[in-house]
């Protein structure tokens, strides 16, 4: 029986400097082992009823397995733009086919240890879609009102991936979710 893996060991990411300018590329394993700067996206998906989609990460992931995270998150592959990564990750993780213009950039977070040494662009997706989980990456989806998530995260912070906790406190993210 083949062991399920939550990420490809062959992924290559762009290595970036302190200004988010590409200075090279390395395999995922090396970038993470050396804690080097790289890029990622996070997507906050709100349905028409105001419910926010949250993802329980697959237990096969090497980072934050089983913890609750944003609707969708992922690395920007080498040579890829942030919007291209967002569209690709939505398809891979939760089976949503969207166009770049369906996503609204709501925040650009500078590289930080709480973000896994990543520069992060956060996007808002609004609308009703039918997800299909990429089981290697996603265990399940949960739906909560943004204010309900706020209270839950304060009570049980250990249930949530550190990048979600970090991003959820950023003023532009909070504003986009109707919390500011």
CATH at 69: 3.90.79.10
In a domain, 4, yes or no: no
In a domain, 7, yes or no: no
In a domain, 164, yes or no: yes
In a domain, 1, yes or no: no
In a domain, 125, yes or no: yes
Average pLDDT, the chain: 93
pLDDT at 148 over 60: yes
Structure token digits, residue 156 = 């049980």
Work out the average pLDDT over 21-44. Answer: 96
How many domains is the chain partitioned into structurally? 1
In a domain, 169, yes or no: yes
Domain that holds residue 75: 12-176
- The confidence score (pLDDT) of residue 10 equals 76
pTM of the model: 0.93
In a domain, 56, yes or no: yes
Rounded Cα gap, residues 111 and 143, in angstroms? 28
In a domain, 5, yes or no: no
């Amino acid at each position: 029986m083949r062991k399920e893996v939550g990420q490809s060991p062959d992924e290559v990411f762009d290595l970036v400097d302190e200004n988010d300018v590409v200075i090279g590329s390395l395999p995922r394993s090396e970038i993470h082992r050396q804690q080097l700067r790289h890029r990622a996206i996070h997507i906050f998906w709100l349905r028409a009823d105001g419910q926010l989609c949250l993802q329980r990460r697959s237990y096969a992931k090497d980072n934050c397995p089983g913890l609750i995270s944003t609707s969708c998150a992922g690395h920007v592959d080498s040579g890829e733009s942030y919007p291209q990564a967002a569209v690709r990750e939505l398809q891979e993780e939760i089976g949503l086919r969207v166009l770049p213009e369906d996503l609204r950039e709501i925040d650009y977070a500078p590289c930080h240890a709480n973000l896994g040494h990543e520069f992060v662009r956060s996007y808002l997706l609004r609308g009703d879609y039918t997800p299909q989980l990429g089981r290697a990456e996603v265990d399940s989806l949960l739906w909560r009102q943004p204010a309900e998530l706020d209270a839950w995260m304060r009570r049980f912070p250990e249930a949530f991936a550190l990048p979600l906790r970090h991003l959820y406190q950023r003023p532009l993210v909070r504003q986009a979710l109707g919390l500011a």
